Homo-oligomer: A and B are copies of this chain.
């Protein structure tokens, strides 16, 4: 039952999430465009509100949503890191593989309870769709976990305590249809890289390509984005492709990268 689940299934698994944000914060953050800057500023405003003792409420909530692989989790973690709140708690489905619905609800409740016990805390809920076991085919999802989440998001914090809840999602339609937009209040859009300048900003930082290759890539990408107006690529996938092309011999890397980007653009 519930309490049993709380004791046995959860503690060991959740121990891991106490190491907190580090798994999302590998490498330096690339601010490849003004959109990234604006997201960080929105985050800072929410942090200010959460911290301010004169705020109407000690509970501030927001969800960051973007396409898969667009760096959503990284940005949420960045906002949490910058907040300098003493207690940061990460809830992620990776710590709950194979949990029963009841055990998941218990884990969720525990995470919220822990966060509220501390005077100032951030709760980062990574990938809400995965948390509620959402699959668009059917659709299938755990209604029990979804409802637990909605209810816990609404419960007030103790007097004088402050809680900032940040969640990530890769499906805006899901948030709307399942009533989570209302439950979170603030929605922060995380875009893909949709301009060649963005991509070049990342390419230049990559320490992988020779000057000539960069030159050529700039020209090629300008053409590519001109021809494919709706083309966009997530930061995570772009970094992966750069990494893959680094496996090629020097001199061939720029071509390798461009060919894979072109293939992506065509397959849209």
Contact with B along A163-205 (1 / 0, CB 8 A): 0000000000000011100100100000000000000000000
Asked whether any CB of chain B lies closer than 8 Å to the CB of A23, the reply is: yes
Determine the distance from Cα of A55 to Cα of B246 in the docked complex, in whole angstroms: 8
Known contacts A93-B151, A130-B151, A151-B93; A106 and B102 CB within 8 A of each other: no
- Min CB distance A255 to B, Å, is 14
Provide the bound-state CA to CA distance between A109 and B97, in Å: 7
Are the C-beta atoms of A98 and B93 separated by less than 8 Å?
A: no
Q: Contact check: which of B23, B55, B246 meets A156 at CB < 8 Å?
A: B23
Whole-angstrom distance between the alpha carbons of A154 and B168 in the complex?
15
Q: Are B139 and A137 in contact (CB under 8 A)?
A: yes
Nearest B residue to A48, CB-CB:
B247
**Number of copies of this chain that the complex holds:** 6
A-side interface residues, number (CB < 8 Å) = 61
Partner among B56, B69, B99, B151 whose Cβ is within 8 Å of the Cβ of A243: B56
A143-B147 contact in complex given A97-B152, A243-B56, C-beta closer than 8 Å: no
B residues near A214, Cβ cutoff 8 Å? none
Contacts of A136 in B (CB 8 A): 177, 179
Q: Encode A133-160 as 1/0 by CB contact (under 8 A) with B.
A: 1011111110110111011101110000
* A52 CB–B CB distance under 8 Å: yes
Contact A108 B100 (CB under 8 A): no
Partner of A98, one of B54, B102, B140, B177: B102
> Could you list 8 further interchain pairs (A-B, Cβ under 8 angstroms) beyond the known A1-B8, A94-B151?
A3-B8, A45-B247, A94-B155, A97-B152, A98-B102, A133-B143, A133-B147, A135-B146
Closest 6 CB pairs of A and B: A98-B105, A56-B243, A140-B143, A68-B182, A48-B247, A97-B148
